[in-house]
Amino acid sequence: MPKRTVEAAVAELAADAFWTEVVGGFPEMTTGDTQLTDEDVGAFYLWLTGVDGDYANHPIGWAPANVPPIRIDAVLAKGIATAQVMLARINPALPTAPAAVVSRLRQCLHHQLEWNFPSEGVPRRQQSEGNGAA
């Protein structure tokens, strides 16, 4: 994480706003398992400052097949729009999210869905824990 700055703090607020929209868009998603290491905050920091920062940046997830891509796109767009309001507080001239930012946020969303969206009625991680698998 870069040195704690106003931009970093606002990026964290934007990430919180983004996830609030995601949870609203996927109410059946459980909370819990994640291996995100600030990729979400890093995406917003990149958007706000143009600087990549010291955030992790690697492919991190795939959405389950039972989640329609159009639904992912709609929730992603709403989350990004909500987060943009937070970022615009310190940069009113903020352009639309660059493709790199959208791609990172899509990966973060896919990761959360991969681990926390019900597959056959039970979240995958809970399924494996419930049957004794590691």
Confidence at residue 10, expressed as pLDDT on a 0 to 100 scale: 93
Q: Report the pLDDT averaged over residues 63-72.
A: 90
Q: Report the pLDDT averaged over residues 5-23.
A: 92
Confidence at residue 128, expressed as pLDDT on a 0 to 100 scale: 46
Confidence at residue 109, expressed as pLDDT on a 0 to 100 scale: 92
Q: CA dihedral defined by 94, 104, 110, 7, rounded to 10 degrees?
A: -50
Confidence at residue 119, expressed as pLDDT on a 0 to 100 scale: 75
pLDDT in tens, 74-123: 999 999 999 999 999 999 999 999 999 999 999 999 988 988 888 765 44
pLDDT in tens, 29-59: 887 656 677 888 889 999 999 888 766 666 5
The phi and psi torsions of 131 (rounded to 5 degrees) equal: -105, 10
The phi and psi torsions of 102 (rounded to 5 degrees) equal: -60, -40
Q: 19 by DSSP, 3-state: which?
A: helix
| pTM of the full structure | 0.80
Distant-in-sequence, close-in-space partners of 51: CB < 8 Å, separation ≥ 6? 2, 45
122-123 and 118-119 strand pairing: antiparallel
Domain ranges, ordered by start, for the chain: 6-130
Q: Which contiguous run of DSSP H or E holds residue 72? A: helix 69-87
